[in-house]
């Protein structure tokens, strides 16, 4: 008997149907209902104290669970509402007004990623989309050819949402770093389904989420890589949780104190989308 069958009882919907659409929304784990009750009970019983008793840190503590799946270290993954916000935060780290203003994106990338990139044209970015020859695959040689010394960022989907095509991240990272560019990989369809280790790959940035194969419900994560020193990669798009506690409470901006924060915390926002964060805490 396949040992994986023992996990079926952990997903209530499998008692009634065959579920084959986790690439869109993962089946809800049985214990997720208890976690949601725990969240609402905390709100009801602790009120504003809940912020200091775990809610402030939830984007990072839950991010650490995701990090254990993709080979990231403690504090390198923070939760966000969705990948579009993740992409906006990461791309805000770069100056697109100079000679190195090229952003290479693969033709199988998720459309919402490309929407963010094309929006950068107004601040000087030059977007080059490498087309797929058959709308299903994209030979890595075509991507490598597009990466040159004017490239600032390369964006690829590790596993294509349309065809499950598996891209060669190692070769892309090697080429990008050789010309001084950085890489952001979308792991949404690969985290939890194929082996991936962001440290071994030396990825600069990656995005992904809880809603699909991680079975955590709506929510998303940004692994912030330290393959190379990224202290210069400071976003200008960040939210309240990306500020020191004293700044949050007193309501005054303090850029000096903000720059002293751990790098990943600068990418943190207060997440109103609690479901993905609460749901991911189901996993043993």
Task: Classify 67-280 by CATH class.
Answer: alpha beta
Q: Do residues 254 and 244 touch, judged by C-beta distance below 8 A?
A: yes
Q: What local confidence, expressed as pLDDT, does residue 18 receive?
A: 93
Q: How far apart are CA 79 and CA 59, in angstroms?
A: 5
How long is the chain?
Answer: 284
Q: Tell me whether strands 77-80 and 151-157 are parallel, antiparallel or unpaired.
A: unpaired
Tens-of-pLDDT digits for all 284 residues of the chain? Answer: 688 889 999 999 999 999 999 999 999 999 999 988 998 999 999 999 998 898 888 888 888 888 899 998 888 888 888 888 889 888 998 999 999 999 999 999 999 999 999 999 999 999 999 999 999 999 999 999 999 999 999 999 999 999 999 999 999 999 999 999 999 999 999 999 999 999 999 999 999 988 899 988 876 666 565 545 455 566 666 555 555 444 444 455 555 555 555 555 555 555 545 555 555 565 55
Dist. CA 87–CA 85, nearest whole Å? 5
Q: What is the pLDDT of residue 115?
A: 95
Reported pTM: 0.85
Strand residue runs (E) in 123-219: 126-130, 151-157, 182-186, 205-209
Contact 156, 169 (CB under 8 A): yes
Strands 220-223 and 77-80 turn out to be antiparallel
Alpha carbon distance 150, 119 (integer Å): 19
Q: What is the pLDDT of residue 58?
A: 84
């Amino acid at each position: 008997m396949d040992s994986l069958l023992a996990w079926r009882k952990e997903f209530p919907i499998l008692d009634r149907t065959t579920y084959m659409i986790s690439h869109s929304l993962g089946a809800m784990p049985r214990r997720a209902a208890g976690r949601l009750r725990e969240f609402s009970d905390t709100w009801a019983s602790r009120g504003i104290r809940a912020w200091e008793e775990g809610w402030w840190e939830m984007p990072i503590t839950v991010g650490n669970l995701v990090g254990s799946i993709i080979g990231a270290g403690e504090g390198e993954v923070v939760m966000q509402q969705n990948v579009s916000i993740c992409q906006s935060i990461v791309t805000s780290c770069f100056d697109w007004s100079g000679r190195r203003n090229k952003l290479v994106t693969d033709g199988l990338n998720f459309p919402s990623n490309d929407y963010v990139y094309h929006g950068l044209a107004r601040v000087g970015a030059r977007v080059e989309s490498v087309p797929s020859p058959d709308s299903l695959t994209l030979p890595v040689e075509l991507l490598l050819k597009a990466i040159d010394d004017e490239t600032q960022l390369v964006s690829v989907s590790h596993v294509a949402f349309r065809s499950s095509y598996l891209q060669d991240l190692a070769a892309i990272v090697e080429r990008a770093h050789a010309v001084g560019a950085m890489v952001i990989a979308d792991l949404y369809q690969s985290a939890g389904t194929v082996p991936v280790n962001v440290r071994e790959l030396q990825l600069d940035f990656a995005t992904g989420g809880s809603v699909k194969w991680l079975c955590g419900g709506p929510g998303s994560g940004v692994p912030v890589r330290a393959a190379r020193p990224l202290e210069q990669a400071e976003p200008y798009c960040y939210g309240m949780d990306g500020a020191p506690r004293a700044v949050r409470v007193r309501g005054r901006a303090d850029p000096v104190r903000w720059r002293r924060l751990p790098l990943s915390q600068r990418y943190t926002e207060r997440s109103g989308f609690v479901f993905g964060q609460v749901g991911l805490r189901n996993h043993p």
